[in-house]
Amino acid sequence: MRTHNARTVHLLAALALFAIGTGALAGCGGERADGLGTEITGADPAPKSKARARQVAAAWDGSTAAAAWRRGYYPMGDTVQLPERAFRNDADKRAYGAHNFVLHTRLPTAAPKNGHVKWESGGSLTLPLTGARTAYEALADGSGDGPHLTVTGAELGETSLLTSRGRATVPAWLFTVKGYDTPLKQVALSPSKPPAPPIKPAADLPSGQLWPLGGLVEVAADGRSVTVIAQHGACDDGPAVHVLETDGSVVLYASMVGTKDGACTAQLIGEKVTVKLDRPAGDRVLLDAFTGRPVPYGEGHGYAPNRS
């Protein structure tokens, strides 16, 4: 299933769009990996893309990188959580999108050195705690032009967050925002450092048959589907994303569908693509076949809040 999300970014390289025209096929679904995955529900992508997905899965499954990933803390949901019934009006929405905040309180200066991630499935992890000033400045890094939101209080609390190891309770700074009954929550921990991938990227430049993903948007509550940003150009029919599932990983491989004749403008367009899985994602590593790395949460901005 594909839904259009109007996010256009600058062209990574003009040569990449020029190379679109060879062999990209439509479809979305999965392919069996030694009997462990789901069967393709659309047209087969290029054989090289399937082979690349298998290489990525083989490199990660059972690797020290995968073991390190499962020990770490990697958010798979928004690390900034809005107050209930946000936003009251369009001005507040625009202020948040522009990161325009005004501080009408003193921020706490005393806080523990470390915070703890506590997973619902068991286990915990201790990480350095982000201070209130740093957390606030991450929210309020706008130009100050236009409407703004006013912060009138701040205290350390907790929130619940989806991570690569399932749902967890994490420390968060709770900012009181004028006009709202519940706080805006900013998670007070930075993600663990990602492990070095056991496989190199597919190529220096993408082709029509294999493109890097723009980022992870959402993992369904039941874990049986994931939504990612897939990119395409102005001279094709859109993106397609296929999946290869194993016991240890879920490898997504994206391509561009079709071509159009004529001049091609220098742009990339991001679309949300939802891919169904044969079984819940669980703690399997969600991987991008092109990069050979875990798919970052947040539309290509790393493990960061999605402000769209």
Residue with tokens 């701040």: 154
Peptide bond preceding 290 in cis form (omega within 30 of 0): no
Domain layout of the chain by residue ranges: 2-71+196-294, 80-187
- Predicted confidence (pLDDT) per residue in 237-256, tens digit: 677 899 999 999 999 998 87
Kindly report, residue by residue over 8-53, the tens digit of the pLDDT: 333 333 333 333 333 333 334 444 333 333 333 345 556 788 899 9
- pLDDT tens digits, 137-190: 999 998 878 999 999 999 999 999 999 999 999 999 999 999 999 999 999 999
Tokens of 212: 């890097």
Tell how strand 166-177 and strand 184-187 pair up.
antiparallel
Alpha helices in the chain (DSSP H): 14-18, 47-60, 64-71, 90-97, 132-139
Position 104: which residue type? H
